[in-house]
Amino acid sequence: MDVDELLQRHGVDTARLEPAPLSPSWREMRDHLALLAGCAICGDTCLSAWVVDAGRGPRWVGLCRGHTPGVLSELAAPTVLGKTGAVHG
Ligand SMILES: [Zn+2]
């Protein structure tokens, strides 16, 4: 499941999320992780920062450990995946 799907499934309105740069650098994503208020779904401490575009422009999305997709495999290798990317703190 990708993050767009996850947000949709939990009824998160992406319009209320903070606008993000279209292709943030790894550094920008890492730095923004510390600024995120909490998991976009449950409000818990963010483990990962994502940028998603659900049709209203790119938005920052923070996700906690429980809501980060593929958290176990991705923790070993921080990655930026283009338009929809993630960085783990
Ligand atoms: Zn969460």
Residues that place a CB less than 5 A from ion ligand 1:
39, 41-42, 44, 64, 67
**Which position has the higher pLDDT, 49 or 84?**
49
Kindly state the tokens that stand for 59: 């938005």
| Stretch (H or E) spanning 30 | helix 26-33
Instruction: For the chain, give the mean pLDDT.
Output: 82
SS3 62: strand
Residue 86 has a pLDDT of 59
| End-to-end C-alpha distance for the chain, whole angstroms | 21
At residue 84 the predicted structure's pLDDT band, cuts being 50, 70 and 90, is low
Interval between CA 44 and ligand 1 midpoint (Å)? 5
Interval between CA 47 and ligand 1 midpoint (Å)? 9
Kindly state the tokens that stand for 14: 């992406």
Residues 32-44: tens digit of each pLDDT:
999 998 999 999 9
Residue 82 has a pLDDT of 46
User: Domain spans of the chain?
Assistant: 3-88
* Residue ranges with strand state E in 1-89: 48-53, 58-63, 86-88
Residue 69 has a pLDDT of 79
